Amino acid sequence: MTMAKRSKTLAVTALVVLAAFLVGFTGTMEARTKIVYWNTYTDHHQEALEKVIAGFNASQDKYEVVSQQQPYSEFDAKLMQAVRIGMGPDIVNMFPSDAINYISAGLLVDLAPYINSPEYGIPGYQTSLPTGTFAEITQWGGDSIYLFPLTLVGEVLFYNKTLFDKYGFEAPATWSELEEISRVIYENEGIPGFGTDSVTDTYQCLIVQAGSGYIDAETKSLVIDETIAKEKLNWFADGVKAGYFRLVGEDYYFSNPFGSQAVASYIGSSAGVSYVEAAAGGAFEIGYAPIPQEGPVQYISQWSSNLVCLSKDEEHARGAYEFMKYFISQEVLVDWAIAFGSVPAHQYAADTPRFKQYAEENLAVKALLDEIQYVGMLASIPGSANVRTEIDRMVQSVALGVMDADTAYTAFVRASQAALNEQ
């Protein structure tokens, strides 16, 4: 055999071996069940997700998770349309108030059989979650679990510690203390002492802490205590009218007014700490504290990052679950919580030395950890999102002097109950 023929033979043999390898490799990849995850993450959040997905895909050879980024402004409408025609993703993130619409339409997978499986379940799943969080994901009865929490963020109090120190104030532990501090600051500095990014969530905290009910899921009716509701409504609205409280208005979030020292303190999401620090720019020392508690019930609002499964068949549903299970493995979940400035929903991750060290450095997260045991649950049923909208409308109208409390509360009850009845 000539050298030329020998080289040609070797080249052909190499191509055959390479082709066989590629066929085998492609076949292995094609054999994987593809799990599609729609999300709206960008920048470092997207990078964190891709890291989780890459880790899961490398950990086994049965499923392949694929991330598909979607525009935030179109997400809700696009998702429902895609799911209804059978072209939707297998996994998305979802709040309880949105999940109820999919549950009612039979479009979400009940994850309880997977979580509780003796073969591939998650031992200690319930006990690793805060009581309020577990109550939230199991509120629809039948031992079902439609939401799969990853991390928690919640309301914390940001305050101008430099200004508070000037008057000898500590972070307020009660709403009464917050009111007194706000009055003194307004009288002496000419700026409001307090505001809140979400009057809805803060109002819910006020009435629940005072002992009021909210929505009865079985009867689909409001069970808010009218006396408490009006008292807390007037308490906040009177503060706004007098100048020592403030509405966020067109600023949308209080981080910029707070940073420019136009307000001395405010309640906002624990995840917003980077915006707060950027707005302040080192002009003063920032304080971070749990939100005030006052009344017979200890309660905070929180917004958990939940995954849900929309798969139509068992194979895809199992793959989606296996990805979720991987997601809450200890180190993966700690990485995710740190990337988002949040608290792991599962205690075994929150207890790790690495996360504890992070919480010592991120004081907003530390403040949330100090109140995490007060996480509560409000019923999410069809129409409950409308109730939140009506709370905002009621509080704003009274604080701005458009309506008195009696008139606004009557309108709130009428509109809210109508929304609950329509479902």
Tens digit of pLDDT for each residue in 214-255? 999 999 999 999 999 999 999 999 999 999 999 999 999 999
Per-residue confidence (pLDDT) for residue 20, from 0 to 100 = 43
pLDDT surpassing 70 at residue 29: no
Taking alpha carbons only, the member of 103, 114, 43 closest to residue 72 is 43
Taking alpha carbons only, the member of 111, 121, 119, 102 closest to residue 143 is 111
The residue that leads in pLDDT, 409 or 273, is 409
User: Whole-number mean pLDDT of the chain?
Assistant: 91
Per-residue confidence (pLDDT) for residue 423, from 0 to 100 = 62
Per-residue confidence (pLDDT) for residue 23, from 0 to 100 = 43
Other CB atoms within 10 Å distance of the CB of residue 231: 15
32-152+302-374 CATH pick, 3.40.228.10, 3.40.190.10, 3.40.50.10070, 3.40.50.720: 3.40.190.10
Per-residue confidence (pLDDT) for residue 72, from 0 to 100 = 87
The DSSP symbol for 265 reads E
Could you tell me the pLDDT band of residue 339, with boundaries at 50, 70 and 90?
Answer: very high
- Beta strand 148-160 with 302-309: parallel, antiparallel or unpaired? antiparallel
Per-residue confidence (pLDDT) for residue 141, from 0 to 100 = 85
Could you tell me the pLDDT band of residue 4, with boundaries at 50, 70 and 90?
Answer: very low
Percent of the chain with pLDDT over 90: 80
Percent of the chain with pLDDT over 70: 93
Question: 308 forms bridges with which residues in the sheet?
Answer: 92
Could you tell me the pLDDT band of residue 176, with boundaries at 50, 70 and 90?
Answer: very high
pLDDT surpassing 90 at residue 405: yes
pLDDT surpassing 60 at residue 15: no
Per-residue confidence (pLDDT) for residue 30, from 0 to 100 = 60
Largest interatomic CA distance in the chain: 103
pLDDT surpassing 90 at residue 1: no
pLDDT surpassing 50 at residue 385: yes
The DSSP symbol for 300 reads B
pLDDT tens across 109-138, in order?
999 999 999 999 999 999 999 998 999 999
The residue that leads in pLDDT, 304 or 211, is 211
Q: CA–CA separation, 405 vs 31, rounded Å? A: 63
Per-residue confidence (pLDDT) for residue 222, from 0 to 100 = 96
pLDDT surpassing 60 at residue 407: yes
Region 46-50: what's the mean pLDDT?
Answer: 95
Q: Contacts from 40-45 at CB under 8 Å and sequence distance 24+?
A: 40/69, 40/70, 40/71, 40/72, 40/75, 41/69, 42/69, 44/339, 45/339, 45/340
Region 327-340: what's the mean pLDDT?
Answer: 96
Per-residue confidence (pLDDT) for residue 73, from 0 to 100 = 86
Per-residue confidence (pLDDT) for residue 5, from 0 to 100 = 44
